[in-house]
Amino acid sequence: MTRLLPAQVVLLALLAGLSLANLVRPHGGWVALAIAAPPAALALPVGGRLALVTALAASVAWCWGGWRLDALDRSELAADIGRAGDLVVVTTAEARPGSFSERQFGRAESFEGRPLDERVELELPLGRAPPQGARVRVLARIAAPRGPSHGFDERTWLRRQGVHVVLQVDRIEVIGRRGGLGGVADRLRRWLARASTPGLAGQRRALVVGIVLGDDSGLSDGVKTAFRRSGLYHLLAVSGENVVLLAAGVLGLGVLLGIPRAWSHVAALAAIGAYVLAVGPQPSVIRAAVSGCAVSIAWLLGRERDGWHALLLAAVVLLGWSPYALFDPGFQLSFAAVVAIFVLGRPLTKALEGYPLPARLRAPVAIAVACGLVTAPLLWVLFGAVPLLGVLANTLVEAAVAPLLGLAFATALVDPLSPDLARILAGSNGLVAAYIARCAELVAALPIAQATGAGAMLAAAGALGAAGFLLRLRR
């Protein structure tokens, strides 16, 4: 990004205001400062109009961010910690199994008959978790989340998601399912998981569902560990590739059916919206969806399509909903990877032209190297481990990820029309999934697959230095 456009300056101001709310809440005198900033910007001699708009954007974003943080920090049930009673809760996510219990996010609707609307976390015995979207009546004890332990602060992690209490469930009864938009999202998710994997079972089915929906709950601990050590765990978080393939598939189908391109773009927007509902509000999928929608809308309006503009817009949307997202590992890694691709991807691709590497592999290898260098310091800070063979693993599976996603979406489209053909497609996709899993296991089994401790720190420092050197060469 050599020259900032006015729209990008305004978006950066919005990001600065939303991020600032995490440090200083705009109360009292701070609100007066936010109100005074835009008029003060008029005194600037150069770019007065842009300075005014920028100051106004930053001030509004700061105030909005403070209001959203106050809303996320509000809890009615915190005053009832230590009490037990009957609650009505709607589960809003799939359960996360642990060693001795399962954890599941939900929204409490009532406690002892008192109406509520608050996010909570359910702590359930193993095998007792209801499906996502279930409306349940529970007998539970209201407890405070655990504090820092073994390097993880559950209380802070949950607070940043608007959760302030844990319901330790003793008895649970399913009494219905949620309706509205949430109910539509649940039905879309169940349909896509079922229609994209007819006839598949076990780890193959779990891996297809994991890559398509970003849900790793069906994978064994061994497979998850292999994906982490090999540097392939990002495949289990819905990324831009998923959204791009979905939109491209809809646009391609429109061409085959002779539908005008404008209506094909409208259909692509609808497909992206439905996919986001099915997957849920993961930072990576929201980023990709906002970017994809921005590109289609720009085409419909005849405007120039700019990747940086779409990326900044996606960050504003995510932080506008929750400024706490700034601290989310998914947010940090997702945006860092895209920035790495924008800044280092093309120079690295050109640099590889002088090496004996097939032309079709240059871009994937360059992207893997760029993402690996930029995300390595983050992985060390966040998790204390850095995969060292991520470029190798991503190169091995690069040619398989797109076919897996394409086959999954095609299977879901064909399943209502021809179940037999859908089973054939799903069976082929199972082979692709098995290949990806095998690559992850083979790379993870190598002794140097992952660095931890001091080795991870050295790897992160080396990656940071290499990224800085490449950036200097690019300039």
End-to-end CA distance of the chain: 11
Q: What is the mean pLDDT of residues 388-396?
A: 89
What are the residue boundaries of the structural domains of the chain, listed by start? 6-73, 77-178, 190-474
Among 2.40.50, 3.40.50, 3.30.70, 3.10.20, name the CATH number for the domain at 77-178: 2.40.50
Coil/strand/helix, residue 293: helix
Average pLDDT over residues 279-294: 76
The rounded percent of the chain whose pLDDT value lies above 90 is: 37
Q: Is the pLDDT score of 140 beyond 80?
A: yes
Return the pLDDT at 34.
Answer: 57
**Residue 152, strand partner residues:** 149
Question: pLDDT: is 40 or 221 the higher one?
Answer: 221
pLDDT, tens only, 63-80: 899 999 999 999 999 999
pLDDT in tens, 142-183: 999 998 887 788 899 999 989 999 999 999 999 999 988 888
Residue 85 has pLDDT above 50, yes or no: yes
Burial of 350 (0-12, 13-18, 19+ CB in 10 A): exposed
Phi and psi for 452 in degrees, rounded to 5? -130, 170
Of 9-13, 105-109, 255-259, minimum mean pLDDT range: 255-259
pLDDT confidence of residue 31: 59
Q: How far apart are CA 201 and CA 430, in angstroms?
A: 9
Return all residues near 468 (Cβ < 8 A) that are at least 6 apart.
none
Q: Whole-prediction pTM value?
A: 0.83
| Type and span of the H or E element at 36 | helix 29-41
pLDDT tens digits along 204-243: 999 999 999 888 888 888 899 999 999 998 888 777 778 8
State residue 1's pLDDT score: 45
For residue 387, the cross-strand partners are: 450
Task: Tell me which residue of 217, 211, 242, 107 sits closest to 162, measured CA to CA.
Answer: 107
Q: Which of 104, 98, 180, 164 is nearest to 136 (CA)?
A: 104
Condensed to tens digits (0 to 9), the pLDDT of residues 425-438 reads 999 999 999 999 99
**Residue 300 pLDDT grade (very low, low, confident, very high; cuts 50, 70, 90):** low
Rounded to whole angstroms, how far apart are CA atoms 366 and 354? Answer: 13
State residue 101 phi and psi, 5-degree precision. Answer: -155, 175
Q: Are 105 and 93 in contact (CB under 8 A)?
A: yes
Note the pLDDT of residue 118: 93
Q: Is the torsion defined by CA of 350, 353, 355, 357 positive or negative? A: positive
Distance in angstroms (rounded) separating the CA atoms of residues 313 and 306: 11
Q: Are strands 134-143 and 84-91 parallel, antiparallel or unpaired?
A: antiparallel
The pLDDT value given to residue 426: 94
List, for residues 460-471, the tens digit of each pLDDT value: 888 888 877 777
Cα–Cα distance for residue pair 356/408, rounded to 1 Å: 34
Phi/psi for 168 (5° steps) reads -85, 100
Tokens 């900032």 belong to: 4
Report the alpha-carbon distance of residue 188 to residue 71 in Å, rounded: 29
Mean pLDDT calculated for residue range 383-409: 89
**CB burial readout 235-263, b (16+ within 10 A) else e:** bbbbbbebbbbbbebbbeebeeeeeeeee
For CA atoms 376, 377, 381, 382, the dihedral sign is negative
Put residue 403 in one of left, alpha, beta given phi > 0 → left and psi -120 to 50 → alpha: alpha
Q: What are phi and psi of 201, to 5 degrees?
A: -150, 170
Per-residue confidence band for 473, with pLDDT thresholds at 50, 70 and 90: low
Question: In the prediction, which pLDDT does 257 show?
Answer: 82
Supply the mean pLDDT for the chain: 85
Q: Say if CB 441 and CB 319 are below 8 A apart.
A: no
Closest residue by Cα to residue 348 from 357, 396, 379: 357
